[in-house]
Amino acid sequence: MKIQPLEHEKFYHIFNRGNNGINLFYDADCYYHFLRLYEKYIEPVAETYAWCLLKNHFHLLVYIKPQNEIDNRKLKYSTVEKPRIISASKQFSHLFNAYTQAINKRFKRTGSLFEKPFHRKLTTSDDYFQKLIYYIHNNPVHHGFCKNINDYPWSSYGSIISEKPTKIKRKEVIDAFYNLDNFIAYHNQNQDLFDIDGLIIE
């Protein structure tokens, strides 16, 4: 089956896990390094609405910027040669390649780290959008890493409910739930996730 490239001006749920279920993140430095590389490779081409990193998988909700809003001068590549065509899909590949190289070097391992190709799901409705954000933020609770989403450090939930500066599209996310109180209340209730059941990574 041919993998469709990420299209400009559309929302996507990007998710993937370690190859054969192996861990992607071994300690806090790994999480921080992935986020640094994410800023380097992805922020020039996409806006981020939600994210969560767990030991062996991750979830992202992103909006691919219009072509005319991408500043080519800010783009970074994991290859030496500059590509002729700027592709959001390729930028994600550069991110995963750069992170794999760093992990392989640090932990003296070889081979693939991520499953290929990475999963992408077009997000087309407001209801789906809300449930997806809820699912992403509650993933650590679902997998037993914490009892409350406030206690998990490697997701965008804390940034959204905070007033600290953030590159997350905080206002837009809160507006999707009408206000911050509703955003928090929605996240603390059990939601019917039947619509996105196929996106759950165990």
Residue written as tokens 């279920």? Answer: 21
List, for residues 7-25, the tens digit of each pLDDT value.
Answer: 999 999 999 999 999 999 9
Residues 6+ apart with CB under 8 A from 104: 110, 111, 113
List, for residues 62-116, the tens digit of each pLDDT value.
Answer: 999 999 888 776 666 655 566 566 789 999 999 999 999 999 999 999 999 999 8
User: Above 70 in pLDDT, residue 43?
Assistant: yes
What percentage of residues in the chain have a pLDDT greater than 70? Answer: 89
**Closest to 93 (Cα-Cα) out of 115, 71, 111:** 115
> How does DSSP classify residue 182?
H
**Confidence at 138, pLDDT banded by 50, 70, 90:** very high
Residues 6+ apart with CB under 8 A from 63: 9, 10, 11, 12, 46, 47, 49, 169
Report residue 93: phi and psi, to 5°: -60, -40
Q: Which residue has the higher pLDDT, 176 or 189?
A: 176
What percentage of residues in the chain have a pLDDT greater than 90? Answer: 72
Distances (CA, A) of 100 to 22, 110, 166, 178, 199: 13, 9, 26, 39, 23
Q: Give yes or no for a contact between 120 and 13, defined as CB atoms under 8 angstroms apart.
A: yes
Structure tokens at 151: 């206690």
